[in-house]
Structure 1
């Protein structure tokens, strides 16, 4: 048990583990909506769109959260605008948006001579998480999860039948805006832990793993949150003992859980189906 308890003697490890649990729970809950709506790439759009906002906010001396949130929302608006004003499909609109915003962010970091640590922003450094960071992540997690619980029925209806939700009078535009805000805040919360790029792995992969195991949306959220927290904690310990970057360690851990599920899921596992087919044959 020493290998499990020894790291807890360090403040930075305790802070990292708390942040990992919080972000591991939050990301898959929000990512569930992306998986079900087949919009997983939208998270990538938002993650890349944050970068110019971070550069500008740092240059102006305003909170990074404000700049990141503003440009994250702008990225989702740009995607919707391109899609609505042309024949371009949504996947193409998202690819155009995230590549352009990412290029703009790199340019601004250079032009404004920003001292932001680009590697930490892109790939995260959860072992440098402070107690203040944990508090910020905790507030975002609490706010987003409370909103999901409060508007669960409306979000459920909107997720599976947008036209039906609009027909019964639900404010579809407001719901979509709220969901985009939740995605943006989730990526901002994960920015410190796994970075703006690898946070997509934590949003999508545990939710996709749960998708292979359960059918109901709420169970998908619960199981995804559990897998996300487990993957984060395991990745942090691997990062600590193997001296590996924390973000990639967490991303590879949750991918390993997904791969095991893909192979051995009781209902959809590749090897499980082969075994059942062999027995029946």
Structure 2
């Protein structure tokens, strides 16, 4: 299997993305931003479609759209009472744009399939290098902001006492999340991005309470789903996103079962 260059690229990319999702996913779940992650995935679909239409790299198109839209959503949804409506409206707009760009594009339907469901086995060495740079950059930012993110996500009182600028941290986190969504789409596609960004972290919180331990466990679950998913995809020729989704759902169900058994 590893004698094939595309599988080596897939495992390197998958490993980096799993680590990234495990780290950022814990804060996504703690901040109750799973719905926002789902919306950014739909916006990523529009960005990827625009990239196909314009002849750009899919990753660049997704990054452009998710970053701009995250700023837009952040400005429009300051009030929590209207946040859900704003996110729904933005999501609907970008889904429509994605369909429009694909219809105007001269590319085949396979381009749309790659955007929606991912094409990790088709990642080139240049794209792997891009993923490495972006993943290291994002993880570096998260390390720098770790203390502030931990306070604002898990201990709001502690954040206020420490005089942490919650607004600035929220904006930076939203931008980091936008880039992470674009990067993750290389594995599972825009429709299933929220799986790796939410389910491993959601499963981890049922096994432990410490933030660092949750991050470690979330990374482990994300790596398990990605590695096993890639292997099963290789031997069956079925879509890797199907296996990753199934494995992460099974892990989550086991976590729920474990929680019920331990709380009785």
Structure 2 length-normalised TM: 0.89
Does the Cα contact within 8 Å between 2:48 and 2:58 map onto a contact in 1?
Answer: yes
- 1:137 counterpart = 2:106: no
- 1:96 counterpart = 2:82: no
How far off is 1:172 after superposition? 2.9
- 1:22 counterpart = 2:16: yes
2:223 pairs, out of 229, 233, 237, with: 229
Does the Cα contact within 8 Å between 2:27 and 2:153 map onto a contact in 1?
Answer: yes
Q: How many residues align?
A: 263
1:110 pairs, out of 103, 126, 134, with: 103
For CA contacts below 8 A with separation 6 or more, give which structure has more relative contact order. 2
Computing the radius of gyration over CA atoms, which structure comes out larger, 1 or 2? 1
In the TM superposition, what are the counterparts of 1:1-281 in structure 2 within 5 Å?
7-84=1-78, 87-88=81-82, 90-114=83-107, 117-161=111-155, 165=159, 168-263=162-257, 265=258, 268=259, 270-273=260-263, 277=264
Whole-Å separation in 1 of the counterparts to 2:247 and 2:88: 27
How far off is 1:164 after superposition? 6.2
Worse-matched range after superposition: 119-128 or 45-54: 45-54
How far off is 1:216 after superposition? 1.4
Does the Cα contact within 8 Å between 1:46 and 1:73 map onto a contact in 2?
Answer: no
How far off is 1:83 after superposition? 2.7
Structure 1 length-normalised TM: 0.84
Stretches of structure 1 that go unaligned for 5 or more consecutive residues are 1-6
Cα distance change, pair 222–182 in 1 and its aligned pair in 2 (3 A): same
Stretches of structure 2 that go unaligned for 5 or more consecutive residues are none
Whole-Å separation in 1 of the counterparts to 2:56 and 2:15: 28
Cα distance change, pair 256–242 in 1 and its aligned pair in 2 (3 A): same
What is the RMSD computed on CA atoms of the aligned residues? 2.3
Whole-Å separation in 2 of the counterparts to 1:222 and 1:213: 11
How far off is 1:63 after superposition? 4.6
Whole-Å separation in 2 of the counterparts to 1:86 and 1:20: 35
1:99-136, CA deviations, whole angstroms, 9 ceiling, x for partnerless residues? 22112111122134455701111111221122222222
Whole-Å separation in 1 of the counterparts to 2:19 and 2:208: 17
Map of 1:3 onto structure 2: none
1:139-173, CA deviations, whole angstroms, 9 ceiling, x for partnerless residues? 12111111111121111122235576467543333
Whole-Å separation in 2 of the counterparts to 1:104 and 1:207: 31
Whole-Å separation in 1 of the counterparts to 2:156 and 2:62: 28
How far off is 1:236 after superposition? 0.8
